[in-house]
Amino acid sequence: MLFLQIPLLAVLLVAGDNEDAFQEEISFKMTYSSSFYNRSWVKIRHSAWVGDLQTHGWDSNSRTVTFLRPWSKGKLSKIEIKELVEFHRVFSVEMPNQFHRHANQWQLKYPFEIQITGGCELHPGEGKAVFLKVAYQGSELLHFQNKSWLPSVKDEITAQPMCRRLNQYHVANRLVQRLIGYSCPRFLLSILDTGKADLQREVKPEAWLSTGPNPGPDRQMLVCHVSGFHPKPIWVKWMQEWYLANADGTWYLQVFLEVEATETSGLYCRVRHSSLGGQDIILYLEHHRSSRGWIIVAVMVPLVLLTALAFGLWKRWSH
Ligand SMILES: *[C@@H]1O[C@H](CO)[C@@H](O)[C@H](O)[C@H]1NC(C)=O
Ligand SMILES: *[C@@H]1O[C@H](CO)[C@@H](O)[C@H](O)[C@H]1NC(C)=O
């Protein structure tokens, strides 16, 4: 039964009174990853996320939910929080028990990995979507839709029997439907409100260029670094992207470009981000070299002209 009440973690009969907190699609996603090493050993990692930002974690020693942000409780009451923490404590024992108990019947082979992902998405305007799925060894096995579990793969051995069993719990499935379809979106709205300052903060990126290790003879690796920005969506002019999270919840991105060593002139890295208000950052790779070039031109051109003039005058006089 408990296994079926996964989203109860969102135990949320919270009044979502803020309907205008977001302009983009946003989701609340809970993930449960369990590594089953053998019949008596399982390692569990739970986490919950609003968009890209982790809001909840799991302390496996004390078997308790950790609230990672001051606003991670949304507008849950003290009693609701206690229920949520208690639910997870029980869930973290019962859910593995279910899998251990049915491992033979469902032909789960130790060691195996089970991931359960559930949550809801809100779209600007009225739209919302819910999702709840179970994966075995990294591949989706079943999903929950319209009050029942459906196999996600054609599989008579594991997915079908698992669904048949879970679909016997009509009452629990109606509860699951209500929790992901009703409570989750309301909790998301409430946490979007309590976490507004963090979730919607705009932090301007810093950008700098460097050269990376030489990829080969006559080749050069150029790196455009963009760091400290929030939110995550960003547009940068050249190539493969590497997002890394900074400790303060902002993002860091390196953009690599491999070019012929002779083809670097005129290259620039251009950064566009919502926090910059239309003022793109533009970094020229050869800024110093080209400005030195202009100084030379600025000095040389008048010199040549003066020399030509002097030569012309001297010729006229000498005639
Ligand atoms: C189960 O796996 C754990 C971790 O690998 C190991 O320490 C333990 O001895 C195993 N137990 C059995 C009964 O195999
Ligand atoms: C959900 O199931 C009900 C009956 O159980 C059916 O009337 C309805 O059309 C279904 N909705 C979807 C989206 O499949």
Cα–Cα dist 257/255, whole Å:
7
What pLDDT is attached to residue 247?
67
What are the average pLDDT values for consecutive 10-residue runs of the chain, which has 319 residues?
42 41 80 92 92 91 92 89 84 87 92 94 86 93 93 91 90 83 88 88 83 76 81 69 67 73 74 84 64 48 65 69
For ligand 1, atom 9: residue with the closest CA: 41
- Of the candidates 59, 115, 53, the one whose C-alpha atom is nearest the C-alpha of residue 89 is 59
What pLDDT is attached to residue 15?
34
Q: Would the CB of 110 count as within 6 Å of ligand 1?
A: no
Give the distance (Å) from ligand 1 centre to CA of residue 138. Answer: 22
For ligand 1, atom 13: residue with the closest CA: 40
Number of Cβ atoms within 10 Å of the Cβ of 188? 28
Give the distance (Å) from ligand 1 centre to CA of residue 35. Answer: 12
Domain 206-290 CATH superfamily = Immunoglobulins (2.60.40.10)
What pLDDT is attached to residue 225?
84
- Of the candidates 82, 52, 101, the one whose C-alpha atom is nearest the C-alpha of residue 234 is 52
Which CATH code, of 3.20.20.70, 3.30.500.10, 3.40.190.290, 1.10.150.20, is assigned to 2-199? 3.30.500.10
Which of 36, 39, 41 has most ligand 1 atoms within 8 Å of CB, for mutation?
A: 41
Cα–Cα dist 158/99, whole Å:
12
Write the CB contacts of 75 (distance below 8 Å, at least 6 apart in sequence): 14, 15, 190, 193, 194
Cα–Cα dist 315/319, whole Å:
6
Give the distance (Å) from ligand 1 centre to CA of residue 37. Answer: 7
What pLDDT is attached to residue 255?
74
Check if the beta carbon of residue 28 is closer than 8 Å to that of residue 119: yes
SS3 61: coil
Burial of 100 (0-12, 13-18, 19+ CB in 10 A): middle
Q: Which atom of ligand 1 is nearest to the CA of 37?
A: 2
Burial of 104 (0-12, 13-18, 19+ CB in 10 A): exposed
Q: Where are the domains of the chain?
A: 2-199, 206-290
